[in-house]
């Protein structure tokens, strides 16, 4: 058995290679910091100073400023650790600041000498004070390998900066159980539930597995959070995916990829199953009811589908109804301006546009829209209704000669019963 003196000789001998904490993640983190070690060395004072340390004025002009490659806070930590190393007594455990300096500079270091809970806690606090995320994560990973899980979680929950860094690390590696435990311990059960949901949606492509995981996520995390609005979203999301799978079994149409949005699903239902019975699973009406789609949104999607397919009779059935006196009335949740925009975008004829322009009650607004939609007969009728001969003549001059609209304007100017403005 070796004596304490032998142990000291081993740890402080310059011939002995320093132990590096074994972790693949740590090695990856250190590669980025090692690249800058030589550049940093130019700005850190050494114990022994030789004449070669001094540079000419030309060299100084081309040297990169130290603070452009390292923060004030990190530089202060390194200089403080450098000072501590010069006056360090021969003790078994290196001060955390010295070890942190080696980590920051990409130098070989050893963490195994930090065996007691007190020394490990001091090392973690020193890393947090230094403010370097990589160094903090290196220390946390060391703690997870050398302490009980519950003890590590307790240390982290008392240190929010360390928690955030570790949670990000766990999230990238999809370690949902650890994420859930830490967030639940902090009293953030709803955040833990959303993190789990995010990981599942982002990393599961198979439809059957996705549905299975979502059902389990709801049961484990969301069912116990009745006041969480995301729980309602998840239930609706599961129901939508089940509807899409059922549609796929009935009609495997590539136009509706699995995991499509609700509006895209409604568009598909209106296009291919618009005439389905309301109580049918394929019915657009049932899909809207199950997912609380507003009547206005439902009508808008249905109108877009019918207009895109040039189903103008279907558009009329959707928007128009007969009044008590047999006259045609507009019955819709949509604004007339929105209806006209959709019709125009889908190349509706002037006859269709003129039919719906008549439902714009405000005469000035109707005139403005008619000009934008190039519905010339509507514009001419409004000028006649206003008795504005001058405006009608100016408008006629802009029309294509010998066109139907040109002759219509010319006829309007000769109407005998119109009382024109003087």
Instruction: Tell me the pLDDT tens digit for each residue of 31-58.
Output: 444 433 343 333 333 333 333 333 333 4
Q: Tell whether the model's pLDDT for residue 166 goes beyond 50.
A: yes
* Average pLDDT over all residues of the chain: 81
Give the pLDDT confidence score for residue 77 in this predicted structure: 60
Task: Give the Cα separation of 230 and 242 in Å (integer).
Answer: 18
Annotated domain spans of the chain? 307-368, 375-421
Give the pLDDT confidence score for residue 69 in this predicted structure: 53
Nearest Cα to Cα of residue 135 among 66, 64, 73 = 73
Instruction: Tell me the pLDDT tens digit for each residue of 216-263.
Output: 999 988 988 877 888 989 999 999 999 999 888 888 777 898 999 999
Q: Tell whether the model's pLDDT for residue 9 goes beyond 80.
A: no
Give the pLDDT confidence score for residue 79 in this predicted structure: 58
- Report DSSP letters for 323-368, one per residue: -TTS-EEE--SS-HHHHHHHHHHTT--HHHHHHHHTT--SHHHHHH
Give the pLDDT confidence score for residue 300 in this predicted structure: 97
Instruction: Tell me the pLDDT tens digit for each residue of 51-60.
Output: 333 333 344 3
Instruction: Tell me the pLDDT tens digit for each residue of 264-309.
Output: 999 999 999 988 888 888 899 999 999 999 999 999 999 999 999 9
Query: For the chain, give me the number of helices (H) and strands (E)?
Result: 24, 2
């Amino acid at each position: 058995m070796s004596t304490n003196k032998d142990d000291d000789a081993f740890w402080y001998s310059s011939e002995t290679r320093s132990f590096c904490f074994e972790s693949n993640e740590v090695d990856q983190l250190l590669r980025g910091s090692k690249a800058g070690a030589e550049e940093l060395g130019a700005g850190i004072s050494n114990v022994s100073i030789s004449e070669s340390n001094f540079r000419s004025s030309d060299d100084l002009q081309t040297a990169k400023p130290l603070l452009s490659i390292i923060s004030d806070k990190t530089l202060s930590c390194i200089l403080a650790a450098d000072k501590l190393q010069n006056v360090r007594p021969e003790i078994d455990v290196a001060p955390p600041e010295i070890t942190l300096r080696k980590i920051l500079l990409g130098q070989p270091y050893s963490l195994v000498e930090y065996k007691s809970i007190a020394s490990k806690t001091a090392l973690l606090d020193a890393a947090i004070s230094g403010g370097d995320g990589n160094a903090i994560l290196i220390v946390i990973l060391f703690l997870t390998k050398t302490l009980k899980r519950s003890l590590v979680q307790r240390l982290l929950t008392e240190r929010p900066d360390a928690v955030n860094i570790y949670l990000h690390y766990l999230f990238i590696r999809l370690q949902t159980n650890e994420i859930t435990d830490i967030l639940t311990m902090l009293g953030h059960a709803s955040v833990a539930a959303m993190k789990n949901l995010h990981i599942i949606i982002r990393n599961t492509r198979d439809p059957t597995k996705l549905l299975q995981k979502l059902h389990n996520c709801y049961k484990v995390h969301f069912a116990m959070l009745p006041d969480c609005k995301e729980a309602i979203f998840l239930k609706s999301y599961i129901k939508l995916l089940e509807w899409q799978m059922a549609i796929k079994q009935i009609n495997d149409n590539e136009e509706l990829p699995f995991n499509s949005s609700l509006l895209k699903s409604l568009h598909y239902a209106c296009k291919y199953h618009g005439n389905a019975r309301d109580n049918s699973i394929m019915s657009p009406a049932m899909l809207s009811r199950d997912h609380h789609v507003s009547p206005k949104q439902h009508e808008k999607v249905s109108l877009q589908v019918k207009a895109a397919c040039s189903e103008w009779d279907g558009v009329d059935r959707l928007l128009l109804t007969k009044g008590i006196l047999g006259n045609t009335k507009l019955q819709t949740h949509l604004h007339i301006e929105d209806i006209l925009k959709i019709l125009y975008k889908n190349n509706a004829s002037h006859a269709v546009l003129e039919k719906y322009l008549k439902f714009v009650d405000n005469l000035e607004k109707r005139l403005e829209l008619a000009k934008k939609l190039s519905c010339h007969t509507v514009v001419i009728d409004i000028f006649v209704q206003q008795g504005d001969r001058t405006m009608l003549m100016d408008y006629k001059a802009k029309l294509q000669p010998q066109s139907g609209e040109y002759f219509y304007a010319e006829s309007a100017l000769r109407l005998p019963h119109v009382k024109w403005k003087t």
